[in-house]
Amino acid sequence: MSSVNTFVIVGGGLAAGKAAEALREHGHTGPLLVISDEKEPPYVRPPLSKGYLLGKEERDSIFVHPEEWYAKNAVDLFLGTSVRAVDPLAKEVELDNGRRVSYGGLLLATGSSPRRLRIPGADLGNVLYLRRVGDSERLKAAFTAGARIVVIGDGWIGLETAAAARMAGAQVTVLGHGDLPLMKVLGREAAEVFAQLHTDHGVRLRSRVEVERITGAGGRADGVLLSDGTRLDADAVVVGVGITPNVQLAEQAGLEVRNGIVTDAHLRSSVPGIYAAGDVANAYHPFLDRHVRVEHWANALNQPETAARSMLGQDAVYDRLPYFYTDQYDLGMEYTGYTEADGYDRVVFRGDLDQRRFVAFWMSGRRVLAGMNVNVWDVVDPIRALVQSRTDIDDALLADPEVPLGSLLP
């Protein structure tokens, strides 16, 4: 096959599947390979902690495309295959079987991996993480009525798995370092909403704790020992303490790596002919005027369009605002925009926090940086428009549910 006309995608998630689709849609007619170390065709990860884990979605629903799509669109799937190395000078990738594949363009959509605990007992058999479809199936098997589940980590994955375990009838304890779950992400007022949500559903929240070890016998965990001497019984331990971008190939190939693979707004890496998308990409965002790496579904869904067009020599820029969502019990939430923990002045609320039906706005001065709608729907577009408009807005108008959000736009 012609190396100049061959495009290679490394990865097995949503970004890889959508990139293959976008390359075909935008006119790439040459050879197209997707190489993944997973045995499944590219699939979507949010259902693994949501609908699929809860048993509300069938296994077939997680895949980006039906398997026959790849043959129909002449996309070669190399599944259960690892890329051992990338040679940018030769423009080749080396597979784990020693085969070398030449490329004209290479997209790294290698995603991320869960951070592993570095404490005694962390390698016991029923210490569970969530990243791949098999992980979700192991969690589903562990989440049974009466099972004692200890979740280490009170971020999004920790809380979503806690909700799934409770809905299956398990007894659940969530352990966190901070004062409240999601405190660093949302700030105190919004974090209190999620803390109360889980408390109302019978989850035991333990804040400001340090885990000393996971206890067990016969290769299986049976409890978690805290630094204060408290021991919590456990039939399974779930670990959700963050993820790390999979940058090993990029580092070995000499790409600029800094909290992910550094790219420009076109998703081009520092090495010509190599691109990045999804969790692993630390991409320059023109609107935010900074590099941002977003570990959420929307980037994996939308960045491949830009990456594909860039690979084809078209002028494409990724400037969509970050977006993510969660579903826990009877709460649905969408978040649009971007701010860091120390990047805003205050949060303005519109609606009823006690009823968990509201919109929150993260403010810097009189400008909206981000918005989160909780059990309020069809407001993502006006929230996005408010952020992008950089309009000065009074808190009182934002807080008034009688004032349509669209009327606040210039």
For residue 1, the model assigns a pLDDT of 45
Give the rounded distance of the alpha carbon of 183 from its chain centre: 18
In sequence order, which residues have a C-beta less than 8 Å from that of residue 134 and are 6 or more positions away?
none
User: How is the chain split among helix, strand and coil, in percent rounded to 5?
Assistant: 25, 30, 45
Sign of the four-CA dihedral 42, 297, 274, 32: positive
For residue 57, the model assigns a pLDDT of 85
Strands 274-276, 281-285: pairing kind: unpaired
Q: In whole angstroms, what is the distance from residue 68 CA to residue 147 CA?
A: 40
Q: In whole angstroms, what is the distance from residue 106 CA to residue 276 CA?
A: 8
E strand residue ranges, 286-340: 290-292, 323-328, 331-337
SS3 300: helix
List, as one string, the DSSP characters of 203-269.
Answer: PEEE-S--EEEEEEETTEEEEEEETTS-EEE-SEEEE---EEE--HHHHHTT--BSSSEEE-TT-B-
For each of the chain's 410 residues, which pLDDT tens digit applies?
456 699 999 999 999 999 999 999 999 999 999 999 999 999 998 888 888 888 888 888 899 999 999 999 999 999 999 999 999 999 999 999 999 999 999 999 999 999 999 999 999 999 999 989 999 999 999 999 999 999 999 999 999 999 999 999 999 999 999 999 999 889 899 999 999 999 999 999 999 999 999 999 999 999 999 999 999 999 999 999 999 999 999 999 999 999 999 999 999 999 999 999 999 999 999 999 999 999 989 999 999 999 999 999 999 999 999 999 999 999 999 999 999 988 999 999 999 999 999 999 999 999 999 999 999 999 999 999 999 999 999 999 999 999 999 999 98
Give the rounded distance of the alpha carbon of 266 from its chain centre: 21
Predicted model pTM = 0.95
- Rg of the chain over all Cα atoms, to the nearest angstrom: 22
In sequence order, which residues have a C-beta less than 8 Å from that of residue 381 and are 6 or more positions away?
none
Q: In whole angstroms, what is the distance from residue 181 CA to residue 196 CA?
A: 10
Q: In whole angstroms, what is the distance from residue 287 CA to residue 152 CA?
A: 35
List, as one string, the DSSP characters of 98-144.
Answer: S-EEE-SEEEE---EEEPPP-STTTTSTTEE--SSHHHHHHHHHH--
For residue 369, the model assigns a pLDDT of 98
Strands 7-10, 32-35: pairing kind: parallel
> Residue 113 to residues 16, 104, 130, 163, 211: CA-CA distances in angstroms?
16, 28, 9, 22, 21
Q: In whole angstroms, what is the distance from residue 177 CA to residue 199 CA?
A: 17
E strand residue ranges, 259-385: 261-263, 274-276, 281-285, 290-292, 323-328, 331-337, 346-352, 357-364, 367-374
